[in-house]
Every structure is written in C-alpha cells, then in structure tokens.
Amino acid sequence: MDLCRFETLAAQGGTALRQGNVPRAAELLEEALTLWRGPLVSNVKHGPVLGAHATGLNEERLRVVEQCVDAQLFLGRYHEVLTGLRGLLVEHPLAEGLWQRLLLALYRSGRRLEAIQEYRRLHRILGDGLGLEPSRSVQRLYEAVLASDPAPDLERIALSAWRDRAVIRPGTVSRHVA
C-alpha cells in the first residue's frame, strides 16, 4: 500500500513540478517521501530478481528526492535541505546531482566558502576514485560560486529540466514487483 501511495504522490508531485506549481509539488513530493522508511528489502533475504526490483525502486526514490530538493530550492528553502542532502551524499557519494544541489543550497544560504570546500571534496572523490572531473554543469555552478555570481536563474534552470523528464506513473513500478 505504501508503494502505491508513494507512486501516486510522486506522479502528482512530478506533474505539479512540470506545470510550475512548485509549492504543491514540494508538498506532494515531501508526503511521498515520508512513506519511505529506508532501503527496500534490506532486512529480507532475496534473490537477484527481487534485488533488481528493489534497486530500481531505491533509484526511483532518489529521483523523487532530487525533484523534492529542486522544489525546495526553487522556493528558497536553502537551509532546510542541507542536512538531508549531506545524509544522502553519505549513501550516494558519486551522485553529482546531489552535490550540485548541495553547492547551490550552501551558496544561497550565504555559505560560499563551504560550497567551495564541498566542490573541492567532490573533485577529490571523483578524481582519486575514478580519475574523472565533475560534470560541466557542476563546474559551471562552481565557477558562479567563485565569481560570487548571483546567478538568479539557477533554480529556474533546474526546474525547467524537470519539465522535460519522464515522471513516475502510478502502478508502473509496483506491478513489476508483485
């Protein structure tokens, strides 16, 4: 039941986000995420099929979290998202989208130096672990932070990206799990 409700709320939140109703999107996406209590089937012995479905659902949760954070950022709730983002980065240290949102939240919170430090930490993680540079969009944000650029359209750019993405539809994930 929670999964069905999660899917419904996430779909409604995604639709509201794409339509530009950001306050409603934030409300719906937050409600969807309150139904999530941790990684799926983490305390259940399972085989590769159920494990693959659980991985897909956990990735879907992360996508909904990103949408929710984007809505929060767009609404100017920079301080509110910081703790959650830091916790998610412990779980997903290579998720550049989360890093980008963290940098933006820090910068918009008036914590420019912390944003610079976090970018450098990401740079080390990617460089030492994978031999990679941060994505171009993360680098552009870092350059804006370095230049103390007010970058008034960063939130709108993030929001417009969601308008172009597919969203979860109720029943599309859970019917594969059954």
The span from the CA of 122 to the CA of 63, in Å, is 20
**Helices marked H in the chain:** 2-18, 22-34, 48-74, 78-91, 96-108, 112-130, 136-146, 154-163, 174-177
Tell me the CA distances in angstroms from 121 to 59, 83, 115, one per residue in order. Answer: 24, 17, 10
Give the pLDDT score at 165. 47
Mean pLDDT computed over 36-44: 64
Q: Is the pLDDT of residue 100 over 70?
A: yes
The fraction of the chain above a pLDDT of 70, given in percent, is 76
The answer to whether the CB of 105 falls within 8 A of the CB of 81 is yes
Burial track 46-72 (b if 16+ CB lie within 10 A, e otherwise) = eeeeeeebbeebbebbbbbbbbbbbbb
pTM: 0.78
Give the pLDDT score at 154. 59
Q: Is the pLDDT of residue 155 over 70?
A: no
Tell me the CA distances in angstroms from 151 to 28, 111, 115, 140, one per residue in order. Answer: 28, 15, 15, 11
Give the pLDDT score at 169. 37
Mean pLDDT computed over 22-36: 93
